[in-house]
Amino acid sequence: MVSQADPDLAPRLRELLMGLPDEAVPITYQQAAEALGLTPPRTIQRVALALEALMREDVAAGRPMVATLVVSRRDDLPRQGFFELAVALGRFSADPAQHEAAYREELDCVMALRG
């Protein structure tokens, strides 16, 4: 859940992600935190919690998960929590070997939705 201190963070993050030009995405968790004007402590955790809220909203509404637009700077993929929640929400297979391909497909769907 998004913390009480950030009740508007998830909608602000959705607006940010949907408004970025195609060539600017995906962005890192740190870039998202900075673009939202978040200050320590726990900036990345707050972004992650907002992304989880967006994932739940998108899956419930049958939309592609806009959270695919935020990745780790380490490997250009979302963090492990993204994949765990995508599996829990029934969007991805439980087989970790399929996660990267499922992520790439989901990202393509989000990009098509944006365009």
Q: Over its length of 115 residues, how does the chain's per-residue pLDDT go in tens digits?
A: 444 457 799 999 999 999 999 999 999 999 999 999 999 999 999 999 999 999 999 999 999 999 999 999 998 999 999 999 999 999 999 999 999 999 999 999 999 998 7
Structural contact between residues 52 and 83, judged by C-beta atoms closer than 8 angstroms: no
Within 13 Å and on the Cβ side, how many CA atoms surround 109? Answer: 16
Alpha helices in 20-98 (DSSP H): 29-35, 43-61, 80-88
pLDDT at 2: 42
Directed axis angle between helix 43-61 and helix 9-19, to 10°? 80
Q: Using CB atoms within 10 A of its CB, is residue 6 exposed (0-12), middle (13-18) or buried (19+)?
A: middle
Spatial distance between the Cα atoms of 49 and 30, rounded to a whole number of angstroms: 14
Spatial distance between the Cα atoms of 52 and 67, rounded to a whole number of angstroms: 8
The first and second tokens of residue 45, run together, are: 């955790």
Side chain identity at residue 22, one-letter code: D
pLDDT at 96: 97
pTM: 0.93
